[in-house]
């Protein structure tokens, strides 16, 4: 599909609150790309301990150049940002939100739904019902290789990203805008092709967010920006707005801003909101100083369940 020229985008926005009423208030056919990474229904609280690794000759780990290191825990998971990931009726929670997502998408828009092996099959059936089976385009496997390895079954080291287009035949797919990946056997394809690399398939190898890298925000379940940037480059056009209504640490927002798109991010967790505010500060509109009120306003206060960021 042809790319549109860049247009002026609406301002970037963060919303703190349950996503359902926010979605219900949004205009029909107004958003060209939605990415969501909801809770996975793992049955446990999602949070990370805060760790610090320091050089220590008496440490218990060996690192680069044979140096010894020791890791200390600065905070336990119960005291770090996170959320309870347990639902009695997971599909009952998702259904009204995904119905709204379908309504909000533009006629050529797409939904990317990020989940894992526990619930992917049930979610696919639900999405087939909402979008129609013909609108299912791909199941992208994000494969990584990090962390403990199960020894009683194959270690699960992938997530599933289901792509649905609103219209089965008309959707944004700018494959030429994708990053390219190295050939597995570059010697077989010639120097020019090997240097250019090839377009990805539906299996995306990408490292997780490094626990010690610059990208890390400390939010449990933070997804790598590289995955989001690929989706945004190929499935939207410059100036488009990308919506993420389970936004967490705001990875979608950062990726959208880096790719010249605007973002609308919703999350109900104050901890997630605080991380997003800090991470996305350079991309948010500056707060407008309020004039002092002369008289008490007669209007009722805004619904606290759909509280907007002070940056709006």
Ligand X SMILES: C[S@@+](CC[C@H](N)C(=O)[O-])C[C@H]1O[C@@H](n2cnc3c(N)ncnc32)[C@H](O)[C@@H]1O
Q: How many chain residues touch ligand X (CB under 6 A)?
A: 19
Is 246 a binder of ligand X (CB under 6 A)? yes
Handedness of CA 185, 189, 191, 197 (dihedral sign): negative
Contact 165, 137 (CB under 8 A): yes
Spell out a b/e string for 155-179, using b for 16 or more CB atoms within 10 Å of the CB, else e: eeebbbbbbbbbbeeebbbeeebbe
**Residue 119 touching ligand X (CB under 6 A):** no
For residue 19, state whether it binds ligand X (rule: CB under 6 A): yes
Tell me which stretch binds ligand X (CB under 6 A): 179-187, 220-228, 232-240, 297-305: 220-228
Does the footprint of ligand X cover residue 32 (CB under 6 A)?
no
Nearest distance from C-beta of residue 137 to ligand X, angstroms: 21
Pairing of strands 136-143, 203-205: parallel
Question: Which residue, among 270, 304, 280, has the nearest Cα to 82 in the 3D structure?
Answer: 270
Closest CB to ligand X among residues 130, 189: 130
| H-helix segments, the chain | 19-24, 90-104, 120-131, 191-196, 225-235, 251-258, 270-280
- Which of residues 39 and 109 has its CB atom nearest to ligand X in the complex? 39
Of the pair 40, 108, the CB lying nearest ligand X is at 40
CB of 98 to ligand X, least distance (A): 12
* Longest alpha-carbon distance in the chain: 77
* Residue 223 binding ligand X, by CB under 6 A: yes
Comparing CB distances to ligand X, the nearer of 127 and 306 is 306
Contact by Cβ (8 Å): 17, 264:
no
Task: Please list, in sequence order, all residues whose beta carbon lies within 8 angstroms of the beta carbon of residue 10, skipping any fewer than 6 positions away.
Answer: 241, 262
* 267 contacts ligand X (rule: CB under 6 A): yes
Residue 142 DSSP one-character state: E
User: Which residues 154-213 are close enough to bind ligand X by CB under 6 A?
Assistant: none
Verify binding: residue 105, ligand X, rule CB under 6 A.
Answer: no
Interface with ligand X, residue 266, by CB under 6 A:
yes
User: Applying CB under 6 A, which residues contact ligand X?
Assistant: 18-19, 37-39, 83, 219, 221-223, 246, 248-249, 251, 266-269, 272
């Amino acid at each position: 599909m042809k790319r549109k020229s860049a247009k002026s985008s609406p301002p970037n926005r963060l919303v703190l609150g349950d996503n359902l009423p926010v979605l219900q208030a949004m205009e029909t056919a107004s958003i060209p790309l939605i990415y969501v990474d909801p809770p996975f229904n793992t049955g446990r609280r999602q949070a990370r301990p805060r760790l610090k690794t320091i050089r220590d000759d008496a440490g218990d780990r060996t690192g680069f150049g044979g140096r010894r290191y020791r890791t200390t825990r600065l905070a336990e998971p119960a005291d770090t940002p996170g959320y309870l990931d347990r639902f009695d009726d997971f599909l009952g929670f998702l259904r009204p939100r995904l119905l709204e997502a379908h309504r909000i998408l533009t006629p050529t828009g797409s939904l990317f739904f990020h989940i894992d092996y526990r619930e992917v099959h049930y979610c696919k059936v639900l999405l087939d019902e909402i979008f129609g089976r013909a609108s299912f385009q791909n199941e992208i496997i994000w494969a990584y290789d990090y962390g403990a390895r199960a020894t009683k079954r194959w270690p699960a080291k992938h997530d599933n990203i289901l792509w649905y287009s609103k219209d089965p035949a008309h959707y944004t797919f700018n494959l030429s805008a994708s990053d390219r990946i190295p050939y597995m056997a570059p010697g077989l394809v010639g120097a020019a092709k090997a240097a250019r690399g090839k377009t990805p398939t539906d299996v995306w190898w990408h490292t997780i967010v490094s626990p010690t890298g610059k990208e890390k925000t400390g939010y449990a379940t933070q997804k790598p920006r590289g995955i989001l940037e690929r989706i945004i480059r190929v499935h939207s056009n410059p100036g488009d707005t990308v919506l993420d209504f389970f936004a967490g640490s705001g990875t979608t927002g950062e990726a959208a801003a880096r790719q010249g798109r605007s973002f609308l991010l919703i999350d109900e967790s104050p901890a997630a909101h605080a991380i997003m505010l800090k991470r996305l500060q350079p991309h948010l509109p500056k707060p407008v100083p309020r004039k002092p009120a002369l008289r008490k306003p007669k209007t009722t206060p805004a619904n606290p369940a759909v509280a907007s960021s002070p940056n709006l």
